[in-house]
C-alpha cells in the first residue's frame, strides 16, 4: 500500500510540474499592420463639373437675397473667388439687362460674397 501511495504522489507531482510548465510557456500571436499611404496627384487643368445644387435650386436659393421688383435670370455655372458657383443674374423690373449677380455655391447652396 505504501508503494501505491508513492505512485499516486509521483503521478500528482508529475502532473503539477506539467501544469506549471504549460503555464510558463506562452504562444504569442504577433500581428503586423502594414499601412500604405497613397497620394493622388490632382491635375488642376481638369475642371470639375460635378455639382450638388442644380441651376433651378440655385435660382430658388437666390430669391431669399432679393426683394420686390427684382427678376432673376438663368443661372450659369462658373468660378467666383475660387469656388464653383451658380451665377444668378439680378435685374430690376423694367430693365432687360442684369444689374447685379448673386453667387450660390454649387456644392453647398450657400451664398458666396
Q: Which residue has the higher pLDDT, 96 or 103?
A: 103
Asked whether residue 19 carries a pLDDT value surpassing 60, the answer given is yes
pLDDT the model gives residue 43: 47
Please state whether 97 falls in left (phi above 0), alpha (psi between -120 and 50) or beta.
Answer: beta
What pTM was estimated for this model as a whole? Answer: 0.54
Residue scoring higher pLDDT (63 or 95): 63
Q: Lowest mean pLDDT of 40-49, 62-71, 85-94, name the range.
A: 40-49
Q: What is the mean pLDDT of residues 70-93?
A: 93
Residue ranges of alpha helices (H) inside 1-80 are 2-24, 55-62
- Percent of the chain's residues with pLDDT above 90: 42
pLDDT of 39 > 60? The answer is no
Low-confidence winner among 1-15, 41-55, 74-88, 93-107 (lowest mean pLDDT): 41-55
pLDDT > 50? residue 91: yes
| CB 48 within 8 Å of CB 78 | no
- Quickly tell me which residue has 487643368 as its cell: 45
Residue 90 pLDDT level (bands cut at 50, 70, 90): very high
Amino acid at each position: 500500500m505504501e508503494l501505491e501511495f508513492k505512485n499516486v504522489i509521483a503521478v500528482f507531482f508529475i502532473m503539477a510540474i506539467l501544469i506549471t510548465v504549460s503555464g510558463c510557456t506562452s504562444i504569442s500571436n504577433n500581428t503586423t499592420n502594414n499601412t500604405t499611404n497613397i497620394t493622388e496627384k490632382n491635375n488642376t487643368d481638369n475642371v470639375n463639373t460635378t455639382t450638388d445644387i442644380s441651376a433651378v435650386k440655385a435660382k430658388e436659393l437666390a430669391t431669399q437675397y432679393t426683394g420686390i421688383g427684382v427678376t432673376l435670370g438663368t443661372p450659369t455655372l462658373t468660378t467666383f473667388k475660387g469656388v464653383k458657383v451658380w451665377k444668378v443674374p439680378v435685374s430690376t423690373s423694367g430693365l432687360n439687362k442684369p444689374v447685379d449677380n448673386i453667387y450660390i455655391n454649387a456644392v453647398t447652396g450657400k451664398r458666396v460674397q
